[in-house]
Structure 1
Amino acid sequence: MQILFMQAFGIDTYVFLAGLLLISGVIAAKFSNRIGLPSLVFFILVGMVLGNDGLGIIYFDNAEAARMIGIFALIIILFEGGMQAKWGTIRSVALPSISLATAGVFITSAVVGYAAHLVFGVTILEGMLFGAIVGSTDAAAVFATLKERSVKAKMGATLEAESGTNDPMAVFLTVSFIELIQTPEADAVQLIPSFFWQMGIAVAAGLAIGKLASIFINRINLDSGGLYPIFTVSFALLTYASAEFVGASGFLAVYVSALVIGNSELTYRYSIFQFNEGFAWMAQIIMFVILGLLVFPAQLFTANIIWNGLLLSTILIFIARPAAVFLTTAFMGYQLKEKLFISWSGLRGAVPIILATFPVVADLENAQLFFNVVFFVVLTSALVQGSSISWVARKLDLTGPIKDIPHHSIELISLGKANAEMVQFKVDEDLEIVGRKLHEINFPDKANISAIVRDETLITPYGETEIQAGDFLYILVASKEEPALKKVLEKKKPSAKPVQKKYTPKK
């Protein structure tokens, strides 16, 4: 098999194409929300257009190479998603998310697997293998889609936590069914302890490495601030490899370690987060383009694939996923409309396509058929579910507040060696500091209000300046005084109901 076949072009042409692909990906990400389609659809289409059945510029048919690229990209995407997640929000939905990520995946796989057995006329084990491949929601698709949509925090946290932790069950089921197909005399019961080992050790490894990484990041004194993001990402790769070396789930370990690191006090936090976000977008663009190259449209868009794919997509979206959601979240405090929204938001993406390469690499009899149908199911899920999440959220009254991201920018000097930090803080109307003048607020001695941005206008602060709701405060503070500063800033008015904190340190 060939990895890449370059047709009579020089290296400069392919460097140009690489740049063009990344530019196209950035533009697609910007306008996908306006168009109403998830950005991953555009990335996949770019790969299909450039591939052998499209313009014929790049020939790619190496499933093993695609799997390796996909795994590396998913590590980066999961790590960025875990870093961005707030532990307080994730903790509140931990039980239903874990239930969806384990029992939910199993139920979805079983329903779709039995349907595949009937539709394709394959053995029950082969049908269950297909079900396992499409049984999990996809972190890359969910993270990217929710970034482009505005839904309530509880719904977003549930879906992100589920997609970040359900890969182990999908991988375990996929690998197990391949083993059972290749070795009929194998005992399925003996595979169960392996699953608990994978989950338990992955969580332990993620917690341990995440804690160590946080300590190392804060204590190491690097000569350049640009090295800190690279140093942080290296722990994502180390976490995955360490877990896989001992037979645990590398993906789960990466997500757990990212949760620990992202919710710790970090030096150069702003630089680390900005780098991770950009790196995750690049990984996502490359991964979906590669997966688009891997499929051959002439084989994909045939009557057999289209009709069977639509049938299985319908069963997955309207029967299997809702059954899994309603059964696994029973008695967990979710309203009917919330369960309906979670059911509809079970996006499929890169993980099912990557898992579909496992049977191809194992050279199973119906591997290519399964790959093409899985690809079609993923496209259907992205087009139908991904494009309508905002509409469904509005109809069910589950839209959240528009994410308040300042459009101004302040260039910050690295202050790591001075043991000082620049903190960005958004003032909510329920805070005690609203309506008070700066000289009336008991800030720590080593904290200085450097700037206030109000309605896109930069205000130079002085003692008589009054804090107003909606202000963005930029405060230079000694690192050791940051906890005291947080207490002052986040103190609520006596009559205010507690809401989610908006404290965001920038370093």
Structure 2
Amino acid sequence: MGIIFTFFIIGLIIFIGFLGGLVFEKTKISEILVLIFIGIILGPVLKLLSPEKLSQFTEIFGALALMVILFEGGMELDLEKVFKTFSFAALLVSITFIGTTVAIALFTHLFWGYPFLEAFMLGAVLGCTSGAIVIPLVSKMNISQETKTILSLESVLSDVLAIVIMISLMKLASAKEPNMFLGFKDLASAFSVAAVIGILTGFLWLKILKTVKDKPFSYMITIAAVLCVYAITEFLGGNGPVSSLVFGLVLGNEEKIAPFFKIKKSELLGEKIKWFHSEFAFFIRTFFFVYIGMIFSLKDLSSDFFVGIAAIILLIFLVRYISTYSMVSVYKEKKEERYIIGTMAPRGLASAVLATVPIASGFALAGRFIEYTSMVIIATNIIVTVGVFVIERRTYDKRKGREVKND
């Protein structure tokens, strides 16, 4: 692919990403699906870049996308609402993730004949919703701020659960004496290390920004800080995406935190810094969705494949709706927004990254994980896009009806 054509494609993708945001405001049709299909055309269809060559960059691009998008998501979250909604989000992700993982594992074992270990690996890969997709999508929707916070938190926790469970299953497979409590230990360790590092570095960074915020290009060093926080957290055995979210949460709630550090309001994080990180996140997010389409792989067109994929997608949304309705029966104040909570189950780059892990470790039956995962990612994003469009239009029509009635 020539340099001129490459520049043209990059510019076109950015234009489409920007225009897609405007289209969503008017029509409630998400730009995510358009960007994914551009990726499919560039990759699997035109073969300008093959999915096989791109897959080697999945881990690093996935980490970058999660880090930047979750950092921006953290900056947009309200600290008080996070504390208020955390119990709901944690309970929702526990029921949904465990239920989906077990359901997919049992189906894979019975239908495709996978051993239980590989079956649960595929369940973990497909059990998590994508924070990198959910966070930017819900931020533009006409739903309560609390529900936005719940869905954002749930998607992040879901990604972390999937990563930790996959690592635990890999350790379980290689351990001479399997330990059932190993996963719980790893999970607690990953969360606690990430949270502590995110909080401490966030507080420290507010103090540093106090002295450098008026310097040229000071807004650039916060990106450098996010990269370092992510790397340090991973090195110390924590979860990088969670530390990025917490770091962003601290910076985004500076006005609530500033009094503890005797920082005056005029000295707080400037709008220029927030603007720059928002623009940078838009750039990464736009190419992330195109990349999802480019790594799409579909070699087997057998009926068993499509029946299996259809059943997995059905299980994902069935478990999601059962979990949602169970939750809103207890948290009755969320009953009005149960449809959007029940619909928000897109799979994304975390699943794509995790699908490659068992293959690299030599699990023979895991060779088809990428094909299954690619298809599920595309299908769930189509369903979520249609669901969001229908729900948003219904909300818009109800609001218009109330306005007419009041007039």
Q: TM-score, normalised by structure 2?
A: 0.86
- Which whole-Å deviations, capped at 9, do the CAs of 1:369-399 have from their partners, x for residues lacking one? 2222222222222111232225336758998
1:62-211 pair list within 5 angstroms: 62=53, 63-181=55-173, 185-211=177-203
Q: Which amino acid aligns with 1:58?
A: L
Moved more, 304-313 or 18-27: 18-27
Against the structure 1 CA distance between its residues 246 and 349, is the aligned structure 2 distance closer, same or farther, given a 3 Å change threshold? Answer: same
**2:253 matched residue in structure 1:** 263
- Which whole-Å deviations, capped at 9, do the CAs of 1:390-431 have from their partners, x for residues lacking one? 533675899899xxxxxxxxxxxxxxxxxxxxxxxxxxxxxx
**2:294 matched residue in structure 1:** 293
Q: Shift of residue 260 of structure 1?
A: 0.7
Counterpart CA distance in 2 for 1:399 and 1:207 is 41
Equivalent position SS for 1:148: coil
Q: Higher relative contact order at CA 8 Å, sep ≥6: structure 1 or structure 2?
A: 2
**1:58 matched residue in structure 2:** 49
**1:233 matched residue in structure 2:** 223
Q: Which amino acid aligns with 1:287?
A: F
Counterpart CA distance in 1 for 2:398 and 2:195 is 32
Counterpart CA distance in 2 for 1:184 and 1:50 is 46
Against the structure 1 CA distance between its residues 209 and 17, is the aligned structure 2 distance closer, same or farther, given a 3 Å change threshold? Answer: same
**1:279 matched residue in structure 2:** 280
Q: Which amino acid aligns with 1:311?
A: A
Contact 1:357 1:371 in 2 (8 A): yes
Q: Shift of residue 184 of structure 1?
A: 7.1
Contact 1:38 1:383 in 2 (8 A): no
Contact 1:96 1:329 in 2 (8 A): no
Counterpart CA distance in 2 for 1:221 and 1:292 is 39
Against the structure 1 CA distance between its residues 281 and 184, is the aligned structure 2 distance closer, same or farther, given a 3 Å change threshold? Answer: farther
Contact 1:109 1:135 in 2 (8 A): yes
Against the structure 1 CA distance between its residues 386 and 171, is the aligned structure 2 distance closer, same or farther, given a 3 Å change threshold? Answer: same
Gaps of 5+ in 1: 1-5, 402-507
Against the structure 1 CA distance between its residues 347 and 59, is the aligned structure 2 distance closer, same or farther, given a 3 Å change threshold? Answer: closer
Q: Shift of residue 251 of structure 1?
A: 0.9
Contact 1:64 1:357 in 2 (8 A): no
Q: Shift of residue 87 of structure 1?
A: 1.4
User: % of aligned pairs identical?
Assistant: 21
Q: Which amino acid aligns with 2:153?
A: A
Equivalent position SS for 2:72: helix
Counterpart CA distance in 2 for 1:118 and 1:397 is 44
Against the structure 1 CA distance between its residues 35 and 67, is the aligned structure 2 distance closer, same or farther, given a 3 Å change threshold? Answer: farther
- Which whole-Å deviations, capped at 9, do the CAs of 1:462-506 have from their partners, x for residues lacking one? xxxxxxxxxxxxxxxxxxxxxxxxxxxxxxxxxxxxxxxxxxxxx
Q: Shift of residue 183 of structure 1?
A: 5.0
Q: Is residue 369 from structure 1 mapped to residue 368 from structure 2 by the alignment? A: yes
- Which whole-Å deviations, capped at 9, do the CAs of 1:83-103 have from their partners, x for residues lacking one? 011112222211111223345
Q: Shift of residue 349 of structure 1?
A: 2.3
Q: Shift of residue 122 of structure 1?
A: 0.6
1:38-57 pair list within 5 angstroms: 38-51=30-43, 53-57=44-48
Q: Is residue 306 from structure 1 mapped to residue 306 from structure 2 by the alignment? A: yes
Structure with more of its chain in strand, by fraction: 1
- Which whole-Å deviations, capped at 9, do the CAs of 1:38-91 have from their partners, x for residues lacking one? 32222221121111x311222341433111111111100000011011112222
Equivalent position SS for 1:132: helix
Counterpart CA distance in 2 for 1:34 and 1:359 is 43
Against the structure 1 CA distance between its residues 301 and 48, is the aligned structure 2 distance closer, same or farther, given a 3 Å change threshold? Answer: farther
- Which whole-Å deviations, capped at 9, do the CAs of 1:79-131 have from their partners, x for residues lacking one? 00110111122222111112233454223222222222223221122111111
**1:389 matched residue in structure 2:** 388
- Which whole-Å deviations, capped at 9, do the CAs of 1:341-367 have from their partners, x for residues lacking one? 422223322222222222233342233
**2:258 matched residue in structure 1:** none
**1:356 matched residue in structure 2:** 355
**2:260 matched residue in structure 1:** none
**2:344 matched residue in structure 1:** 345
Q: CA RMSD in A?
A: 2.7
Q: Shift of residue 138 of structure 1?
A: 1.2
Contact 1:105 1:324 in 2 (8 A): no
Q: Shift of residue 219 of structure 1?
A: 2.2
Contact 1:151 1:400 in 2 (8 A): no
Counterpart CA distance in 2 for 1:279 and 1:33 is 21
Against the structure 1 CA distance between its residues 400 and 370, is the aligned structure 2 distance closer, same or farther, given a 3 Å change threshold? Answer: farther
Equivalent position SS for 1:247: coil
Against the structure 1 CA distance between its residues 377 and 151, is the aligned structure 2 distance closer, same or farther, given a 3 Å change threshold? Answer: same
Contact 1:25 1:285 in 2 (8 A): yes
**1:462 matched residue in structure 2:** none
Q: How many residues align?
A: 388
Counterpart CA distance in 2 for 1:301 and 1:23 is 34
- Which whole-Å deviations, capped at 9, do the CAs of 1:309-330 have from their partners, x for residues lacking one? 1111011102x22344455676
- Counterpart pick for 1:19 among 11, 15, 18: 11
Structure with more of its chain in helix, by fraction: 2
Counterpart CA distance in 2 for 1:182 and 1:372 is 25
Counterpart CA distance in 2 for 1:177 and 1:312 is 21
Against the structure 1 CA distance between its residues 286 and 176, is the aligned structure 2 distance closer, same or farther, given a 3 Å change threshold? Answer: same
Counterpart CA distance in 2 for 1:175 and 1:290 is 24
Counterpart CA distance in 2 for 1:189 and 1:23 is 49
**1:251 matched residue in structure 2:** 241
Counterpart CA distance in 1 for 2:274 and 2:301 is 40
> Higher Cα Rg: structure 1 or 2?
1
Counterpart CA distance in 2 for 1:399 and 1:244 is 46
